[in-house]
């Protein structure tokens, strides 16, 4: 295939970026999108030009580092895939493909298609953890958990923190990410110790970092590579309200 690529180039975080146009030939339909980007970079290096900087690690849909907005969609066309899982069969010969980074104030561009997603780490540090006694590991079945609860907690824990939900949201909300991380603990007995403050602390940190509010448009769920459900946002709202009541009662004592 022959393709026209319009790719966002930005040399430094504080510099003004712009789209640059590249033409690439002999793209195999069996390539992944990142393999196509590798081919482009080999061509640029041969021409003594600066290759396009993009993030990647596992290339197996596990880490979410490969995040790109492709033709207006986080991770590109397809359902429940990351960019590294996107196959070039999704495009046709002669297509023009627009590639850009997450357009989120809380995820500033580092270079080209690489953004700083450390804001998610700060949200997790605010409350995305459990306290556990030190010592040897407890027996596997020492804490009984209903299967439906464990399955739902496992589904929530599948969130890879790529940020596609934020990139897809018109408000740049991180509610689906925070909801998934709150749910994976709220559904299990191990998470009850911090349960009365976890949602409050994580939502407050999310607001502090400049993420927007949720208006339930559903774009986050539609573009999530793990198919995280909006129902987790409902649980987050319940946990947040409960934490607020508990906090108010403690302050009025």
185 shares a domain with 162: yes
pLDDT of residue 45: 97
pLDDT tens readout for residues 168-192 = 999 999 999 999 999 999 999 989 8
Do 177 and 63 share a structural domain? Answer: no
CATH number at residue 207: 1.10.1060.10
Shared domain for 72 and 24, answered yes or no, is yes
Instruction: Answer yes or no: do 7 and 28 share one domain.
Output: yes
- Residues 149, 36 share a domain: no
Instruction: Look up the CATH number of the domain holding residue 71.
Output: 3.10.20.30
Q: Give the range of the structural domain holding residue 71, as residue numbers without chain letter.
A: 3-111
3-state helix, strand, coil in the chain (%, to 5): 40, 15, 50
Q: Indicate the number of domains in the chain.
A: 2
Q: What is the pLDDT of residue 193?
A: 85
**Same domain, yes or no, for 100 and 124?**
no
Q: How confident is the model at residue 199 (pLDDT cuts 50, 70, 90)?
A: very high
Task: Please check whether residue 164 is in contact with residue 75, taking contact to mean a CB–CB distance below 8 angstroms.
Answer: yes
128 has a pLDDT exceeding 90: yes
CA nearest 83: which of 110, 109, 108, 102?
102
Q: What is the pLDDT of residues 28-70, one digit of tens each?
A: 999 999 999 999 999 999 999 999 999 999 999 999 999 999 9
Same-domain status, 138 and 225: yes
Domain limit, last residue, from 111, 128, 143? 111
The verdict on 245 and 130 lying in the same domain is yes
Query: In this structure, is the dihedral angle defined by the CA atoms of residues 211, 156, 160 and 87, taken in order, positive or negative?
Result: negative
């Amino acid at each position: 295939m022959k393709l026209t690529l319009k790719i966002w180039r930005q040399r430094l975080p504080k510099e003004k970026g712009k789209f640059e146009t590249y033409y690439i030939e002999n793209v195999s339909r069996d390539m992944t999108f990142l393999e196509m980007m590798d081919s482009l970079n080999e061509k640029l290096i041969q021409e003594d030009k600066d290759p396009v900087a993009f993030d990647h690690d596992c290339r197996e849909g596990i880490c979410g580092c490969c995040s790109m907005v492709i033709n207006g969609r986080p991770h590109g066309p397809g359902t429940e895939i990351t960019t590294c899982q996107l196959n070039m069969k999704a495009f046709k010969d002669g297509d023009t493909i627009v590639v850009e980074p997450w357009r989120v104030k809380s995820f500033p561009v580092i270079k080209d298609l690489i953004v700083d997603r450390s804001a998610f780490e700060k949200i997790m540090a605010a409350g995305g953890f459990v306290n556990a006694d030190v010592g040897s590991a407890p027996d596997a079945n020492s804490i009984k958990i209903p299967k439906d609860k464990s399955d739902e907690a496992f589904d929530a824990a599948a969130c890879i923190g790529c940020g596609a939900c934020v990139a897809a949201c018109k408000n740049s909300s991180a509610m689906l990410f925070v909801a998934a991380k709150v749910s994976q603990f709220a559904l299990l007995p191990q998470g009850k110790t911090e349960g009365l403050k976890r949602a409050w602390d994580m939502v407050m940190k999310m607001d502090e970092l400049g993420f927007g509010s949720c208006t339930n448009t559903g774009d986050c769920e539609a573009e999530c590579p793990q198919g995280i459900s909006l129902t987790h946002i409902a649980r987050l709202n319940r946990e947040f309200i409960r934490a607020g009541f508990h906090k108010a009662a403690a302050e009025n004592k």
